[in-house]
A and B are shown apart, each in its own frame.
Chain A
Amino acid sequence: MDPYLVSVLSNIGLFSFLALSAWILLLGGEISFGQQAYFAIGAYAAGIASAVWAWPFTAAVLWGAVLGAGIGALIAWPAARFTGVHYAIATLAFAELTRAALNVFHYQRDVDGYLTGPDGANGFGDIRWVYEAGIEPGPYLAVIATLLLAVIALIGLAARLDVMAQLRMVGEDPILAAMQGVRVLRWKIGAAAAAGGLAGLGGGLYAHFATYVEPAQFSVMTGVHAVAYGLIGGLGTALGPILGVLIDIGLLESLRALAAYRMIVFGGLVAIILILRPRGLLDETLVAKVRAWARR
């Protein structure tokens, strides 16, 4: 496959993890401007594990995801009592705190004669496990795609087991859900842990794809994009946020003739979509219609 296409597809896959992470929280009724923090935590944790501690790739990426989930739950424990703008700004504060802390985070060790590890604002390079193992970009794309499909399958399974329905209940009307015996706070913390783990997984994969990460990549802009993906693509299904990423990265990369105006085109397109379909392209109504049609 064309190397450029592989790199675009890899980016779409990697940012899908971040978009899904924000989407899960949206279902639970919370807007997070801070999922990029868990992406960063996953990227740094997995990068340190494989490049500095010489862990194998699988263990390193898993460690990034676990750390993302743990910190996600820890932050949600006080923050999940809030809703709306309050939650959004609390997550934003945590994410900016993480970025600012990474700016002064130095952890460089001697690995084979080279200083390796995060160097504050200068970033963290030489996360070379994948290249040293001789894995080409093509097969690595397959790794990303497989994991993404596994996540979607897991969400599909959760929908079968009514997990998603309960989460949506919590998001739609927490008081009514609590009256039905749903443990609202637990669901919100659980959703935040799942979202943190997903973003951490994506971050770990991203670090090994890019081989270099720096704190500036994990700015508020990244987090707001992640929320916007779900809202554009639709809140009805896990394919919604992925469609959002496809529209942003895929469509805009194919419109390279309009490169200078791409954000103007994208912004206008999104504004129109949201006027016509306030809950995104693949909203709940459309998903329900497709389900009914498929059952027939």
Chain B
Amino acid sequence: MLDLAQNTMDGIAAGSAYALLAIGFTLIFGVMRRLNIAFGPSIMVGVFLGAWVNAQWSAGLIGATIATFAGALVASIYVERLSFAAIRGDAALASMASSFALWMQLEQGVALAFPGRTTAFPTLPPLLDVQFVGLILHGDDILVLTVAGIALFLLHRLIYRSHFGLEMRALADSAEAAAVSRVNTKRVAFLTFCLAALIGAVAGLLIAATDGQVSPKFGLWATIKGLVAMMIGGLGSLRGALLGGLALGIVEAQAQWYLGAAAREIVVFGLLFLCLIALPGGLAGMRETGAERKL
């Protein structure tokens, strides 16, 4: 019982990073109606730039953070221009294939610039672990949860309390109606892409700083985790993305503890497949139906 509770807590910390990745995917899919599978690799570019800035000028966590945001933003804009803005509106498949092609570019670019298997990344400042009725809340996890919570709060304010958020939701609801209502759809789509990059960069930063290192496999890893969490939560729903990320984190932590690493993958993908069939609307779709809440 205690193990179960402990795993759940550890899972929530890991899941909060998954949730941010899933939200990034959801934002892009919401306004574009297309899949950007180069999302993970774009974040990876940022994380590696952070690692490089740190190694070059021993910039520490602050410097690495700024560089991570800048790198993820630049890489995302590159993907947006070539794979989304430049491709005709009715060719969603072409955008996806193109984002895959740019993924290959980004991944090889990173592998060329950082030949090692892993590259060091500045770690989080040490915090004391908190003990609570036999459970251990790790200092790192507290920090991860705090940062993810702040990011989510700011995002929520932006989406539901600002004019830009209103435009974004209008675009997600219907591109035609938004255009008729004098929303500059191209500008809003571009800015949403940038917003997703920043959210993803927060996730990348938290993961890299917790591990203290990054590898060129991070791009694939982040794309898979984000997509899986998004689908568990329910495609197109921000609240679903949050729930899906946490659920994925908890399931992974439990399966890892009780069944081991090899069985964890089987459990996660088996459950994902069953979940997609049994719950096509995802966790968020259990309560809400239809299109009333696309973003």
Q: Which residues of A does B touch, CB under 8 Å?
A: 26, 31, 78-79, 81-82, 85-86, 88-90, 92-94, 96-97, 99-101, 103-104, 121, 220-221, 224, 227-228, 231-232, 260-264, 266-271, 274-275, 278-279
Contact = CB atoms under 8 A, between A and B. Distances in A.
26 contacts: A31-B93, A79-B276, A85-B235, A89-B231, A89-B272, A89-B276, A93-B270, A94-B269, A94-B273, A101-B266, A103-B265, A224-B100, A227-B100, A228-B97, A228-B101, A231-B97, A261-B112, A263-B104, A264-B105, A264-B109, A266-B104, A267-B101, A267-B103, A267-B104, A267-B105, A278-B87
Given A263-B104, A270-B97, A86 B265 contact: no
Interface string B69-87: 0000000000000110011
A119 to B, nearest CB: 13
B124 interface: no
Nearest to A94: B273
Q: Which 5 A-B pairs have the closest CB atoms?
A: A278-B91, A267-B105, A270-B101, A100-B265, A263-B108
A92 B96 CA distance: 15
A278 B93 CA distance: 8
A274 B95 CA distance: 8
B97 A92 contact: no
Contacts of A232: 97
Given A103-B265, A267-B105, A86 B276 contact: yes
Contacts of B102: 267, 271
Contacts of B35: 85, 88
B265 A96 contact: yes
Given A89-B227, A264-B105, A97 B91 contact: no
Contacts of B105: 263-264, 267-268, 271
Contacts of A79: 276-277
B5 interface: no
B87 A93 contact: no
Contacts of A99: 265
B182 to A, nearest CB: 28
A270 to B, nearest CB: 4
